[in-house]
């Protein structure tokens, strides 16, 4: 049986070049709306925060949906998962990357571009729509999550969601010596262990970011290939055309 408060092991920062070289064997799982779930809560953070082009619903691959349910069932009574983001359009990924890079550049005007790029990549994956190397969230395999109590009040996880500081590193509180720090450490351990048990990998610089099936997951776990390439939420017009073309006699 999994120790849900086991220490979070040390993990390297992603080698993005190596991760993006992982082959993709697309399994064809559809994107599904997570907001229909009764097993966890959904709060589409970027839409609520007014980020341009951010969708009002969180979508993820079917396998991710099932594993989120599996992780949620392992939580102690009174705690629930909250999904903050999942499938992310390229425009949103580009906006987040460019915005953080510019903020860092303004904060540290003497920093070299390579250093600014490295710092930005700690908290926002490089934007990419390439079929062989898509951004993790573009695949529907990456999710951003947190914990809340039974009434929906978010727990203190030691940093804000998307906070671009060292406190966001998953292991930041592992050596905490005060009661408050140890409480945060245990919440992060709980989240990490239920998600790992469900098959996810974690991005070491973001306690909230977990992957299943994408190239980052494949790189972290030493898999032979990723399961998910780029995905797209189909607009109604595309669904109608697809349905009509599937009718007998359609060319």
Q: Is 226 helix (H, G, I), strand (E, B) or coil?
A: strand
| 137 assigned to a ligand binding site | yes
Query: Is the CATH number 3.30.1380.10 carried by domain 16-245?
Result: yes
| 209 assigned to a ligand binding site | yes
- State yes or no: is 206 an active-site residue: yes
Residues near 43 by beta carbon (within 8 Å), at least 6 away in sequence: 82, 83, 84
Q: Is 85 helix (H, G, I), strand (E, B) or coil?
A: strand
Point out the catalytic residue in the list 29, 32, 122, 206. Answer: 206
| 59 assigned to a ligand binding site | no
Encode pLDDT of 51-96 as tens digits: 888 999 999 999 999 999 999 999 999 999 999 999 998 888 888 8
Encode pLDDT of 104-127 as tens digits: 888 888 889 888 888 887 777 777
Of 235, 213, 209, 236, the closest CA to residue 226 belongs to: 213
Predicted TM-score of the model (pTM): 0.88
Ranges of each domain in the chain = 16-245
């Amino acid at each position: 049986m999994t120790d849900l408060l086991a220490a979070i092991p040390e993990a390297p920062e992603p080698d993005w070049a190596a991760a993006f070289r992982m082959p993709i064997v697309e399994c064809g799982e559809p994107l599904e709306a997570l907001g229909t779930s009764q097993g966890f809560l959904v709060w589409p953070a970027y839409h609520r925060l007014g980020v341009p082009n951010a969708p009002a619903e969180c979508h993820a691959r079917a396998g991710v949906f099932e594993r989120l349910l599996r992780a949620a069932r392992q939580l102690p009574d009174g705690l629930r998962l909250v999904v903050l983001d999942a499938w992310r359009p390229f425009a949103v990924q580009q906006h987040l990357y460019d915005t953080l890079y510019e903020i860092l550049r303004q904060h540290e005007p003497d920093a070299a571009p390579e250093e600014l790029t490295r710092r930005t990549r700690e908290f926002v994956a490089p934007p990419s729509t390439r079929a062989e190397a898509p951004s993790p969230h573009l695949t529907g395999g990456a999710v951003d999550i947190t914990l809340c109590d039974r009434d929906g009040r978010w727990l203190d996880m030691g940093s804000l969601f998307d906070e671009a500081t060292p406190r966001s590193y998953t292991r930041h509180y592992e050596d905490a010596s005060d009661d408050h720090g140890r409480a945060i450490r245990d919440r992060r351990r709980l989240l990490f262990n239920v998600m790992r048990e469900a098959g996810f990998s974690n991005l070491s610089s973001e306690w909230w970011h977990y992957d299943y099936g994408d190239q980052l997951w494949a790189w972290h776990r030493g898999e032979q290939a990723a399961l998910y390439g780029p995905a797209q939420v189909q607009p109604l017009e595309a669904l109608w055309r697809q349905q009509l073309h599937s009718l007998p006699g359609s060319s």
